[in-house]
Amino acid sequence: MKIEVDDLSRPAIHALLNEHLQSMYGLSPPESVHALDPEKLRKPEITFWSAWEGSLLLGCGALKELDARHGEVKSMRTPNELRRQGAGRAILAHIIQVAKSRGYARLSLETGHVEAFKPAQKLYEGFGFAYCGPFGEYVEDPNSVFMTLCL
């Protein structure tokens, strides 16, 4: 598996992000969806990675700098048909390593509250993320779960 910084130009990335957005809007009310489209993922404070096995896209994830000591995990997604093969785990480990190398003290994330998000929550728990309240510009939302990891 090769994890690389991605410029969000390939059709496979657009298809995966579209799958991600459709899923998020299918699971949560619009005001509770915080997933980013490709244009928003191109902002300078966000680094976006994709994971590949040859020409097969295995997943993606991003790191948004909230400030010099705090980052946010964004856009973690594995294609539905390729789940539970380790790509999400590898991407998250990569994001954590980059956050540490940048000198962040904390890495946080927002995910959904419904049952479909439980596997993601378990993945984050496995890396040591703990449940917390809203951070950054987020506000309390019954459809959101917030987690953080001290680095």
Residue reference for tokens 């991003």: 62
Q: Which tokens hold the place of 121?
A: 């929550």
The answer to whether the CB of 27 falls within 8 A of the CB of 35 is no
Q: Over the stretch 10-37, which tens digit does the pLDDT of each residue have?
A: 999 999 999 999 998 888 988 999 999 9
Domain count, the chain: 1
Residue 69, amino acid: R
What CA–CA distance (Å, rounded) separates 31 from 141?
9
Structure tokens at 61: 């994830």
Res 82 pLDDT > 80: no
Range of the domain at 134: 2-150
CATH number of the domain encompassing residue 53: 3.40.630.30
**Per-residue confidence (pLDDT) for residue 80, from 0 to 100:** 78
Residue 20 exposure: Cα atoms within 13 Å on the Cβ side:
22
> Where does the pLDDT of residue 58 fall: very low under 50, low under 70, confident under 90, or very high at 90 and above?
very high
Share of the chain above pLDDT 70, in %: 100
Question: What pLDDT shows up at residue 83?
Answer: 78
Residues 12 and 139: their CA atoms lie apart, in Å, by 33
Q: What pLDDT sits at residue 84?
A: 80
Q: How far is CA 74 from CA 23, 46, 61, in A?
A: 15, 9, 6
Question: Could you write out the DSSP letters of every residue in 43-63?
Answer: STTEEEEEEEETTEEEEEEEE
Reported as a pLDDT band with limits 50, 70 and 90, residue 86 is confident
99-131 pLDDT tens trace:
999 999 999 999 999 898 899 999 999 999 999
